[in-house]
Amino acid sequence: MKELTKAEETLLLAILRLKDNAYGVAIKQQIQKATGKSLPYGTLYFILEQLAKKGYVKRFTGESRPERGGRSRIYYTHTPEGIKALEHAYKMQQKIWNGYTELTWGEKTGR
């Protein structure tokens, strides 16, 4: 199993959330909403490519649309492996973060 990077993780989650409507503009907006950061399309598509290469997402080409100057939307959807990878990442995350609050409790109070 190939590990997910932080950016891949974020994108894969956005695709999961958008369900059938996961294409460039929507993903970008979703990420902006979730993280407050704007991702350039170049970076976005680069990460999507990586995900597709690892086999965590699949690509569909939609029908051509006038508001895109006659171009098609490219939709992404998750694969079962993608879900597995997310679950794995979530578990890892939990392990890593386990007991964080206790550890920092003293620091927060500034003692």
- Residues forming contacts to another protein in the complex (CB under 8 A) are 23-25, 28, 40-42, 45, 49, 65-69, 71-74
Please give the full DSSP string across 16-76, using - where no structure is assigned.
HHHGGG-BHHHHHHHHHHHHS-PPPHHHHHHHHHHHHHHTSEEEEEEEEEGGGTTEEEEEE
Nearest approach in angstroms of CB 2 to another protein is 22
Closest CA to 60 of 31, 12, 30, 24: 24
| CB closer to another protein, 26 vs 88 | 26
Nearest approach in angstroms of CB 41 to another protein is 5
Nearest approach in angstroms of CB 105 to another protein is 41
| CB closer to another protein, 32 vs 98 | 32
